[in-house]
Amino acid sequence: MKHANHPLLRLLGACMLFGLMLVQGAQAQAPAPAAAPAEAADAADAGGGAAALRSKYQALQPQLASNPFKRRITLESTENPSKLSGDIYAVVDHPFERVRDGLKSAGNWCEVLMLHLNTKQCLVQGDANGPVLAVALGRKFDQPLSEAQVVKFQYRLLSATGDYLDARLTADQGPLSTRNYRIELTGTPIEGGKSFIHLSYSYAYGTAARLAMQAYLATLGSDKVGFTATGKEADGSPQYIGGVRGVVERNTMRYYLAIDSFLDHPTPPELDKRFASWFDGTEQYAKQLHETERNDYLAMKRNEYRRMKDGGN
């Protein structure tokens, strides 16, 4: 397709990848001297978060028990004129200690993010404010790093106690006019040796990103859909939401599956199993998530992971 190599579409593929800003009314982060109040507010949010998350778990029991995903999860998305966000609440079949210890380090978040098709590399760096994840975003096939877009995410661990995990990745700026990227994961133990997690994924965007998004949805993304059912097709099958909400729902699900696959196979000897688990998970929702063939994905990820472990060379 002649549209596939348009530079705006290449950048859009990157900027649509990481939506993450779910703080209400979030703005670009303030300079360091003014950051203390926001950090204090985050700490206040983390305190008491376990009780709120368990309350949400109880409230979602009907949806967790009966849904089209064949998993104990719920997914929702929201759109306003300048922000997109997606949220997944899920029961994971692992004890909380494994969830907390697996997802409390910046390095392990790189392991998670690398499973996504568009993540070409993830390196942990650092500055005065703590760990930074330098994430290279690109196309859904193997490509040189010189063609990728790098977004730097500040990593903060707000809580990792016996009953609550709160880990956050934030970036002020992304490709084009995207901004205020945020990924947030919270978790708490529940009955049966399992855990309940909330993944939120969102970002704000300006005019340039909006125009690129419109071009993408009119060409490469015109036939892609999300997971929210909006009606029935003529044959009686579900009709799913498209547009920008479809985009954010697809990527929210991809990141949830990445977290789940990492928790299933967290150690280096299990790397191939982790790759296969993520791909097979996406194929359960092929209508929404199928992009490439299994062998192509596995070969691409082995190469990208090898390059990442070599320091990006």
**What is the number of alpha carbons within 13 Å of residue 214 lying toward its C-beta?**
6
State residue 162's pLDDT score.
Answer: 96
The amino acid that residue 128 corresponds to is A
Q: Do 84 and 203 meet the contact criterion of CB atoms below 8 Å apart?
A: yes
Higher-confidence residue: 79 or 294? 294
Encode pLDDT of 112-153 as tens digits. 999 999 999 999 998 778 999 999 999 888 889 999 999 999
Encode pLDDT of 200-223 as tens digits. 998 887 777 777 777 877 777 677
2-28+39-309 belongs to which homologous superfamily? START domain (3.30.530.20)
State residue 215's pLDDT score.
Answer: 80
Q: Do 116 and 255 meet the contact criterion of CB atoms below 8 Å apart?
A: yes
State residue 104's pLDDT score.
Answer: 97
Alpha helices in 47-174 (DSSP H): 49-59, 61-65, 96-103, 106-113
Helix (H) or strand (E) holding 156: strand 149-160
CA separation, residue 32 to residues 38, 42, 182, 299 (Å): 11, 15, 18, 42
Q: What percent of the chain has pLDDT over 90?
A: 59
Q: Which residues of 46-65 are buried (b: 16+ CB within 10 A; e: fewer)?
A: beebbeebbeebeebeeebe
The amino acid that residue 281 corresponds to is G
Read off φ and ψ for residue 73, nearest 5 degrees.
Answer: -140, 160
Q: How far apart are CA 281 and CA 49, in angstroms?
A: 29
CA separation, residue 84 to residues 80, 208, 209 (Å): 7, 15, 12
Helix (H) or strand (E) holding 184: strand 179-190
